[in-house]
Amino acid sequence: MDLASFLTSVLTSFVIFVVLVLVFTFLSRRPGNAPVYYPSLLLRGLDPWEGRRRGTRSPFGWIRDALSASETDVIAAGGVDAAVYLVFLSSVLSILVYSGIVLLPVLLPVAGTDRGLELTAAAGIRPKNDDKNNSAPELPEIQRLALSNIQEGSMRLWAFLLSVYWVSFVTYFVLWKSYKHVSNLRATARSTPDVKPEEFAVLVRDVPRSSPDETIKDSVDSYFRALHPNTFYRSMVVTDHTKADKIYLEIEEHKKKIARAEVVYANSKTESNPEGIKPTHRTGFLGLIGKKVDTIEYCSEQIKELLPKLEAEQKTTLRDKQQRAAIVFFNSRSAAASASQTLHAQVFDKWTVMEAPEPHDIIWPNLSRNIYERQIRQVVVYSIVFLAVVFYMVPITAVSAISTLENLRKVLPFLKVVVDRPAIKTVLQAYLPQIALIVFLALLPAFLMFLSKGEGIPSQSHVVRATSGKYFYFIVFNVFLVYTLGKTLFASLKTILDNANINVIINMLATSLPGGATFFLTFVALKFFVGYGLELSRLVPLIIFHLKRKYLCKTEDEVKTAWAPGDLGYSTRVPNDMLIATVVLCYSVMAPLIVLFGVAYFALGWLIAKNQVLRVYVPSYESNGRMWPHMHTRIIAALLLYQATMIGVIGLKKFYYSPILLPLLPISFIFAYICHMRFYPAFAKTPLEVAQHELKETPNMDAIYTAYIPQCLKPDKLEDLDVFEDAQSRTTSRVPSI
């Protein structure tokens, strides 16, 4: 890519971003759009414009609000997980800023004043243009400011070698401070005086088979009452409530139809027709065929028929469909924390006890899977992921090779008439490879989420972490490594075939690999300008909301569902950010200009993410920063890849002192090990010194117990809990409320 195409890409992306920001500023001030731009505030009962009426008239008012918001405000709006995500963004930003302070003023002049590319081209190592064999090959201006412009064995390489050490130690420093800060955030959240149901419960899996004369519920009660006689409160055995849930959802769907039909019926009453027109529908497929019936009467009759079925199925589920897993409750936080960290059984495949997830975070079908099934599923899933990573290389490599304009002209000659036009050619050179890659990767996250759930993981937050890890390694391997090497080898294949000399091939690789930074410069620019512009403007959700509200929504509940914002989507957001962090780290010394784009990406990302957390997104669960150790590990993985890459690239430059970089790899492993030993145990388990803090009120244990009952099995009143519990047991036992 030449300088004109590069500047076209960056400037076009910037113009699009500015336009989207102005669109956001205009649309977000209109009261009718408040559910799209301020749903989090509305759900918390806050006025979106309170105290900010003047600020909303400025395109930069949202920036001032985001900058002035404290971490406490972020936690109040989006939870600890959102605050930890912002810490992740600010940590990578700090690494790049501190690194850039040295890299930009030192490496750019060192690279820009050398003549490595000219000498390499003159020596005939670079392939010449077939149409202009007698002319000097074109040298991209951007590469002149990169490591590829340094001559082999030059003493200038000392600056690049020492810069690798600088970036590495900056990363160690920032990560240590961030890990400590997040650890304190988690401890503060776990020791708050507020009553949280998950802090009084543990999840028990691999319950042994009970004797014929007792239920699993009886077995769990007797076991934990014997081991924890003073602190055990109650247990709730996990049941297979699939059928009950299906009946319950049918009833809820009929209730929604009745509410919708009543609104339509009320709106149909006019002065000329005071009786109105009762809504009707057909009972067949999708309401298109079958008998036409009165919607209100038909749904009411269906509910009357389904309620006895639900009641009967609830009794059957509680009595006959008990699974070998349970939620066990204790009368204090410290007792539950202690139980979750205690080895209960002599053998590993019985009575597996762990901290309980939040009630709405649980994946109920996965709880009953035994340890052997979970391990087999994990092996199968990771084998599938490995094969997917390996075989995805084929289409990814094809995309990277074909999506360049020159290769596209060769593969599809009939496009020459179009792509040879100067204006179209410039735009295609700027955007084609990046857009092709982004679209190709958009198909992956749902597949990885499905695989992660298939492992038997007990909670949605854990599934998100597992999906995030798989997606990170996938995109780093396939996008960064395979794309870079595939494009380099494809572009230089003729040179490799014509020059079998190993020295010529090594010199070619040493020159071509750093040159790949141009693609990633435009890739990063496209991601943060266009991607963050769309994120801030929320044009797609805005259009969908207004279409639904105008043509589909009749009731307030339907309108509320139409603008429900969801959460941040960590499973894809974090890996995509980590891809940018990996790319910028790996090219930070080879092509220092990329640091500026990395700083812009994470600074803008932090600002917009903070705005969205405060105003838009609503958390679907709270893991109290459990994602951070995974983020930390991914940054270390990116650092190791960066260090290994620089060892190879500087080694290809025939620099005698390049082995000095080798100690960085064991230093990184040692740093990761120390962080894991010092901080990770407090994330895997809740420390007792954290759990023992006093509560501001006496916990209502019945309410805590009820929070874990699936909606389709939940009794109407707290007084019915004893009936619910006795339905799972063959022995009646009463536990006084605390």
pLDDT tens-place string over residues 126-141: 444 444 444 434 445 6
Structure token pair of residue 90: 């600010």
Maximum alpha-carbon separation in the chain: 96
In angstroms, how far is CA 528 from the centroid of its own chain?
16
Q: What is the pLDDT of residue 125?
A: 47
Burial class (CB in 10 A: 0-12, 13-18, 19+), 558: middle
What is the spatial distance between Cα 380 and Cα 399, in angstroms, rounded to a whole number?
A: 28
Using an 8 Å Cβ cutoff, are 201 and 708 in contact? yes
Q: What is the pLDDT of residue 92?
A: 96
Report the DSSP beta bridge partners of residue 203: 327, 354
Per-residue pLDDT at 84 exceeds 90: yes
Tell me, what amino acid is at 520?
A: F
Q: What is the pLDDT of residue 419?
A: 54
Confidence of residue 88 (pLDDT cuts 50, 70, 90): very high
What is the spatial distance between Cα 202 and Cα 200, in angstroms, rounded to a whole number?
A: 7
What is the spatial distance between Cα 302 and Cα 609, in angstroms, rounded to a whole number?
A: 45
pLDDT tens-place string over residues 167-199: 999 999 999 999 999 999 999 999 888 889 999
652 compared with 702, residue with greater pLDDT? 702
**106: nearest Cα among 650, 646, 641, 595:** 595
Using an 8 Å Cβ cutoff, are 470 and 462 in contact? no
- 457 three-state secondary structure: coil
Structure token pair of residue 242: 């699939």
DSSP E strands in 295-432: the ranges are 322-330, 352-355
Q: What is the pLDDT of residue 137?
A: 40
Structure token pair of residue 453: 């759930």
pLDDT tens-place string over residues 470-488: 988 888 877 776 666 666 5
Residue-averaged pLDDT of the chain: 82
Confidence of residue 424 (pLDDT cuts 50, 70, 90): low
**360: nearest Cα among 44, 715, 728, 709:** 709
Q: What is the pLDDT of residue 149?
A: 80
pLDDT tens-place string over residues 263-279: 888 888 776 777 778 88
Read off the DSSP letter of residue 362: B
Report the C-alpha dihedral over residues 335, 336, 340, 342, rounded to 10 degrees: 20
Percent of the chain clearing pLDDT 70 (strictly above) = 79
Structure token pair of residue 509: 């690789």
Lowest mean pLDDT among 282-286, 549-553, 642-646: 282-286
Structure token pair of residue 196: 């949280």
The mean per-residue pLDDT over the stretch 85-94 comes to 96
What is the spatial distance between Cα 463 and Cα 363, in angstroms, rounded to a whole number?
A: 9
For every residue of 44-86, DSSP letters joined together read TT--TTTT-TTGGGSTTHHHHHHHH--HHHHHHHHHHHHHHHH
The mean per-residue pLDDT over the stretch 235-259 comes to 92
Structure token pair of residue 568: 């941040």
Per-residue pLDDT at 381 exceeds 50: yes
Percent of the chain clearing pLDDT 90 (strictly above) = 40
Burial class (CB in 10 A: 0-12, 13-18, 19+), 373: exposed
**431: nearest Cα among 346, 525, 366, 354:** 525
Q: What is the pLDDT of residue 414?
A: 55
pLDDT tens-place string over residues 585-624: 988 998 898 899 899 999 999 999 999 999 999 998 899 9
The mean per-residue pLDDT over the stretch 527-547 comes to 88
pLDDT tens-place string over residues 555-587: 888 888 888 888 888 888 898 899 889 989 988
- 348 three-state secondary structure: coil
For every residue of 511-568, DSSP letters joined together read HHHHHTHHHHHHHHHIIIIIIHHHHHH-HHHHHHHHHHHHHT--SHHHHHHHT-----
- 131 three-state secondary structure: coil
Q: What is the pLDDT of residue 132?
A: 42
The mean per-residue pLDDT over the stretch 709-725 comes to 72
Using an 8 Å Cβ cutoff, are 328 and 200 in contact? no
Pairing of strands 292-294, 280-282: antiparallel
Per-residue pLDDT at 164 exceeds 60: yes
Rg of the chain, C-alpha, whole Å = 30
Q: What is the pLDDT of residue 428?
A: 56
Phi and psi dihedrals of 256, rounded to 5? -65, -40
The mean per-residue pLDDT over the stretch 107-115 comes to 84
Using an 8 Å Cβ cutoff, are 724 and 318 in contact? yes
**555: nearest Cα among 250, 270, 256, 269:** 256
Structure token pair of residue 115: 């003549």
C-alpha distance from residue 674 to each of 92, 172, 184 (Å):
20, 11, 17
Structure token pair of residue 302: 């269906």
Task: Output b/e per residue, 478-501; b: 16+ Cβ within 10 A.
Answer: bbbbbbbbbbbebbbeebeeebee
Per-residue pLDDT at 85 exceeds 90: yes
Confidence of residue 736 (pLDDT cuts 50, 70, 90): very low
